[in-house]
Amino acid sequence: MSLACPIVPPPLAGAEPHRFLIRALSTRDAAACAVFTAHLDRADIRLRFGTSHCATAYFLPGRDGTGERVTLAAIDSAETILGILTLSHVSTNTGEIALIVRSDQQRRGIGRALLAHACAVARGDGLRELFGYVLAENTPMLRLARRAGFAFSRWDEFLVEARVTLSQHASRDAG
Ligand SMILES: CC(C)(COP(=O)(O)OP(=O)(O)OC[C@H]1O[C@@H](n2cnc3c(N)ncnc32)[C@H](O)[C@@H]1OP(=O)(O)O)[C@@H](O)C(=O)NCCC(=O)NCCS
């Protein structure tokens, strides 16, 4: 994954050409976030939050327990939100990430593009490391993270911790 993020990734073989850009969300995007939330399957919500409950507020910027929460969204030309990645600054060096792609938009490169963009944003923010917790049965996310250069360690009975050190030079990050 190149950190020169493909803001407009090439269409995948066999898929409709699908164009989107990635930008930070603001509270003005609450209505679009509500539409996004309404298009999430229960199973996907559980994989993201560990529960079947999901509130639009989780996808908007704000503050988490430890620090600032930035949300990056993949958005198409109709301003439809296709996927959202949350980046929480947990210390001056470290950020925690979590992402979810709209259930009817998966496997089109959106998750990969969001993760690449988040690494670039995190580096720009001066972070040196990103981590996230993934349910052990979440093969799609584990494969995505592995391909992005994350290493894994078992956190507990249910969760795997995925962690990556951000290199000084974008081109050195895994692709
Ligand atoms: C995990 C998730 C974010 C992936 O997003 P996506 O946009 O569908 O992923 P991409 O199309 O960018 O795929 C990138 C890579 O991820 C892996 N991947 C994605 N979906 C996969 C699937 N269903 N099965 C196996 N691997 C998969 C593949 O390695 C894929 O690369 P490839 O298509 O070249 O094989 C998405 O499935 C999702 O939102 N899941 C529910 C919420 C969730 O699990 N969030 C993570 C919690 S931290």
Classify burial at 49, counting beta carbons within 10 Å of its beta carbon; exposed 0-12, middle 13-18, buried 19 or more: middle
> Would you list the domain boundaries of the chain?
21-131
Residues near 120 by beta carbon (within 8 Å), at least 6 away in sequence: 3, 4, 5, 170
Q: What is the CATH number of domain 21-131?
A: 3.40.630.30
Q: Which residues line ligand 1 (CB under 6 A)?
A: 44, 47-48, 98-101, 106-112, 132, 134, 138-141, 143-144, 147
Q: Using most ligand atoms within 8 A of CB, pick from 144, 146, 147, 155 the residue to mutate for ligand 1.
A: 144
Cα 5 to Cα 18: distance, rounded to the nearest angstrom: 16
Given the DSSP bridges, would you call strands 94-101 and 129-135 parallel, antiparallel or unpaired? parallel
Testing ligand 1's pocket by substitution, the residue of 49, 107, 143 carrying the most ligand atoms inside 8 A of its CB is 107
SS3 assignment, position 105: helix
Q: Relative to the CA of 12, which ligand 1 atom is closest?
A: 33
Give me the pLDDT at residue 7, please. 44
| Ligand 1 atom 10: residue of nearest CA | 109
According to the model, what pLDDT value does residue 13 have?
42
- Dmax of the chain from CA atoms? 43
Which stretches does DSSP call E strand in the chain? 21-24, 62-63, 68-75, 81-89, 94-101, 129-135, 151-154, 159-165
Q: Which residue's CA lies nearest to atom 44 of ligand 1?
A: 47
pLDDT tens-place string over residues 109-156: 999 999 999 999 999 999 999 999 999 999 999 999 999 999 999 999
**Alpha carbon 99 to chain centroid distance?**
3
> What value, to the nearest 5°, has the Cα angle with vertex 161 and ends 159 and 165?
170
CB atoms within 10 A of CB 134: 23
pLDDT in tens, 2-42: 333 344 444 444 455 568 999 999 989 999 999 999 999 99
Please say if the pLDDT value at position 172 is more than 80.
no
Alpha carbon distance 56, 91 (integer Å): 25
Nearest atom (ligand 1) to Cα of 147:
29
Distance 106 CA to ligand 1 centre (A): 7
Higher pLDDT, 82 or 27: 82
Residue 37 host element (H or E): helix 30-38
pTM (2 d.p.): 0.89
Q: What is the per-residue pLDDT for 169?
A: 56
